[in-house]
Amino acid sequence: MSNPGTDLHLDWFSGIRINTPAVERRAATLPTRRSLKKDHQAAWLLNAVRCIDLTTLAGDDTPDRVARLCAKARQPIAADLLEAVGVTGLTTGAVCVYPTMVAPAKRALGNSGIPVASVATGFPAGLMPLELRLAEIRYAVDQGADEIDIVITRAHVLQGNWTALYDELRAMREACGAARMKAILATGDLKSLENVAKASHVAMQAGSDWIKTSTGKEGVNATLPVSLVMVRTIRDHHARTGIKVGFKPAGGLRTARDAISWQVLMAEELGRDWLAPDLFRIGASSLLGDIERQISHHVTGRYAAAHRQAIA
């Protein structure tokens, strides 16, 4: 279900104060809180695969490259490995591309049921006039995008102009139409955890279906402390409204260990509902290679040579 949003309620977050050392201590415990071995570890890793937004956002993207990415999205783990662990029908959560690559992605995915997500609004900086950013959203939707990953104006956050941020996001939400919206906060640019928390609240009040850490292009992308702050704002918003908003860490998740750490965060802070792709996505591509390597080790007892793992 899409997030309908609410009016802007500054009082929901104006008094937020965050104990940064306490957040960092809590985040540091997450990778050590669960010892997952053998079948249990494999199950968590396969769950991470179904939550990945398999992404290509390169200046030299072509329809052929996107088609290869889509083939990997449809068969992210080698068929013999999935057969060995008794899993069928596994795909990634979505494919994420630029607006001009949406139509090729839709063609390549066919009737697979895998959504196509498109970045928009002048990704990654977002420093374009609002009307042009809205036009880019509409173009991506017209091309068939099922989800839109928008970027916010960081200056609104840095200046504490929450009304301007809300109005911008509401306009973007309207432009998305039936497509679901992920609001990229570019947390590495926001300077403080308080700003991250406040921007998260505004994004959810404005109707974002997911809040997302990063474009992957900032100097600092997804970190566990920032993610902890964001998921707690999701919990607060759900307690106030009953609306479940999703979360997407992006940039910096590269290893199977990372995939498990962020899932532990979701399970412990938000519950099992947030371990499904309608509420949890991981923005990554290189991560998938390490997960497949670990699944291969689980099945065969040895690590596969790199050339045995198909890449997009």
Domain range list for the chain:
10-304
Fold of 10-304: TIM Barrel (3.20.20)
Whole-structure pTM value = 0.95
Q: What b-and-e string marks burial along 94-124, b requiring 16 or more CB atoms within 10 Å of the CB?
A: bbbbbbebbbbbbebbeeeebbbbbbbbbbb
Residue 236 annotated to the active site? no
Residue 273 annotated to the active site? no
Residue 106 annotated to the active site? no
- Selected catalytic residue, list 209, 248, 258, 290: 248
User: How does pLDDT run along the chain (312 residues), one tens digit per residue?
Assistant: 789 999 999 999 999 999 999 999 999 999 887 777 889 999 999 999 999 999 999 999 999 999 999 999 999 999 999 999 999 999 999 999 999 999 999 999 999 999 999 999 999 999 999 999 999 999 999 999 999 999 999 999 999 999 999 999 999 999 999 999 999 999 999 999 999 999 999 999 999 999 999 999 988 999 999 999 999 999 999 999 999 999 999 998 999 999 999 999 999 999 999 999 999 999 988 899 999 999 999 999 887 766 666 554
- Selected catalytic residue, list 146, 198, 212, 290: 212
- Selected catalytic residue, list 149, 189, 209, 290: 149
